[in-house]
Structure 1
Amino acid sequence: MTPLIAAAVLLAAVTHASWNAIAHGIKDQLIAFTLVGGGGALCALALLPFAALPHAGAWPYLLSSVLLHLVYQFLLMRSFRLGDFGQVYPVARGIAPLAVTVLAAVFVHERPDAWQTAGVLVASAGLAGVALWGMRGRRPNWPALGAAVGTGLSIAAYTVVDGVGVRGSGTSLGYICWLLILQGVVIPVLALALRRGELLPALRPVAARGLLGGALSLTAYGLVLWAQTRADLAPVAALRETSIIAGAAIATVFFKERFGRPRLVAAAVVVGGIGLMLHTS
């Protein structure tokens, strides 16, 4: 985990929180994810001539990841529809780093050293603090929280699958392009089947925002996949989920949710965890 890799993943965290905020800000979640998925697929198609074809051994992982990403998107749509951004987004992202640490140890035999383990635990504690602050003073919205937890587990699953797949693909760019193309057409096709003549009128008012979200989605996950070819999965996952801090800031500025001192403390804890993960670099 070098400073360059860390910077790339932190940039991915900000862009990821941004496209999630765009998706949440569009009230019709089917329309939002149609545009984000379609926009990501269009960007990937534009980059495809410049990308090598992934090696044959990577395709089972890539196709499995497409299915896991679709599960993730449907659960994320449900959590956004049922709950507030400042509540469900931190929960969905906050449980992923520890789950990735366990899955990577079991299936990829990556066991982080003492400093990385401490960094993941400290950063996860800070992320949990942000998530709990997002639920302060409210009665738990159990359906929304259940969808958010399911979203977090699906994140952990596709993170490990993609970590293995992209390393064997020979091309980070080719892997992300095919991933977004294959997954990106599913929700638009579903929306077309469900809405038919009503789809285009619903898309027009929010098309620019949604397509921007798709471009940010490609950028965010492309940076993460590149980082996964150069560092262990657990610290990359923990760094990526600092998107929670960016999400909390976005929720404060655009959705008028208070940031508060507890979130500042939690953010400082996350920064301390990042410092521990970078100790051995």
Structure 2
Amino acid sequence: MPTHVLAAILFAAFLHAAWNAALKSQPDTFMAALAVTSGAAVLAALALPFLPAPDASSFPFIAASSMLQIAYYLLLAAAYRVADIGHAYPLMRGVAPVLVALGGGLLAGESLHGAQWIAIGLICAGGAALTLGARGHASGGLRPTALVLLTATAIAAYTLVDGLGVRRSGAPAAYTAWIFLLTGIGIAALSWRRSAGQLPAYLIRHPGLALMGGAATTGSYGIALWAMTQAPVAVVAALRETSIVFATAIAVFLLRERATRARICGAGLVALGAAAVRLA
């Protein structure tokens, strides 16, 4: 993988971990997620008039991805209500690349060679180790893990859809903007009964969360979609999960979750996997 593509994905990974940590730090993760998606939708609407239009053949993928993204955000907010970020984030982000790698061969016809599978395996093994290192601090029971695994499935599904769609679009930036515009509108519509009258006041109290979170999630995924036009979807998806390392650092140093040997080893495996992607 070219160095500039690798560097771009690592930056996207940092952005992703940062906005997830901001979401988790809010007392009401549902309203926080709604604020982030609203901010992303506003930014997308402002950008679209200045971007080249995606090819018409990509719009069915945009529609499908938007529906999957809506499911993802709702599941993410639910997961963060019952599980620590140090448990939920590594598990959901570590499982998704495996599902993408398996689905990519079936749906996109992408075949990976041995070194790429090893790199993906290292990243996913690191995610598993980080999850084990955080289990003692996760909210107990099967429900948190079930929600996290459902979120991982949604991540894999929209990643595969977008890997196919963005290559047809010919315009990764506009493709990304359309997804976030439709996702924001969809989540606001579905959430209206619960959030009626609350969102405007929440946005006034938390403008930074809406704008910075919206910019971070849009930028993070936009970079990833561009990278999918440069490299196999499964490799990009796995490398993007280096966000696990950033999320763990944020959890330990900012959110004061406990550092364990498993977490340290897991972060090392993810970093090693990222290096292997560069060499594969």
- Deviates most, 20-29 or 166-175: 20-29
Taking structure 1 as reference, are residues 198 and 59 closer, same or farther at Cα in structure 2, changes over 3 Å only? Answer: closer
**Match of 1:52?**
52
**Match of 1:118?**
118
SS at structure 1 position matched to 2:14: helix
Separation (CA, whole Å) in 2 of partners of 1:193 and 1:137: 33
Taking structure 1 as reference, are residues 195 and 115 closer, same or farther at Cα in structure 2, changes over 3 Å only? Answer: closer
**Match of 2:73?**
73
Any stretches of 5+ residues in structure 1 without a counterpart? none
Q: Is the 8 A contact 2:62 2:162 kept in 1?
A: yes
Matched, 1:203 2:203: yes
Cα RMSD (Å): 1.6
Q: Which runs of 4+ in 1 moved over 6 A?
A: none
**Match of 1:13?**
13
**Count of equivalent residues:** 280
Separation (CA, whole Å) in 1 of partners of 2:102 and 2:203: 40
Q: Is the 8 A contact 1:37 1:214 kept in 2?
A: yes
- Deviates most, 230-239 or 199-208: 199-208
Q: Is the 8 A contact 2:54 2:170 kept in 1?
A: yes
Separation (CA, whole Å) in 2 of partners of 1:265 and 1:30: 32
Q: Is the 8 A contact 1:123 1:270 kept in 2?
A: yes
Letter in 2 for 1:86: G
1:25-174 equivalence runs, <5 A: 25-136=25-136, 140-174=140-174
Q: Is the 8 A contact 2:84 2:138 kept in 1?
A: no
SS at structure 2 position matched to 1:93: helix
Separation (CA, whole Å) in 2 of partners of 1:190 and 1:41: 15
**Match of 2:234?**
234
- Deviates most, 195-204 or 110-119: 195-204
Q: Is the 8 A contact 1:23 1:210 kept in 2?
A: no
Length-normalised TM-score, structure 1 = 0.94
Q: Cα deviations across residues 73-98 of structure 1 (Å, max 9, x unaligned)?
A: 11111101111111111111110111
Shift of 1:137: 6.5
**Match of 1:186?**
186
Separation (CA, whole Å) in 2 of partners of 1:267 and 1:203: 35
Letter in 2 for 1:255: L
Shift of 1:60: 0.8
Shift of 1:6: 1.0
- Deviates most, 153-162 or 21-30: 21-30
Q: Cα deviations across residues 213-264 of structure 1 (Å, max 9, x unaligned)?
A: 1110011001000000100011111111111111111111221102233322
Separation (CA, whole Å) in 1 of partners of 2:195 and 2:236: 39
Shift of 1:7: 0.9
Separation (CA, whole Å) in 2 of partners of 1:109 and 1:271: 28
Any stretches of 5+ residues in structure 2 without a counterpart? none
SS at structure 1 position matched to 2:32: helix
Taking structure 1 as reference, are residues 228 and 196 closer, same or farther at Cα in structure 2, changes over 3 Å only? Answer: same
Separation (CA, whole Å) in 1 of partners of 2:50 and 2:210: 25
Taking structure 1 as reference, are residues 215 and 185 closer, same or farther at Cα in structure 2, changes over 3 Å only? Answer: same
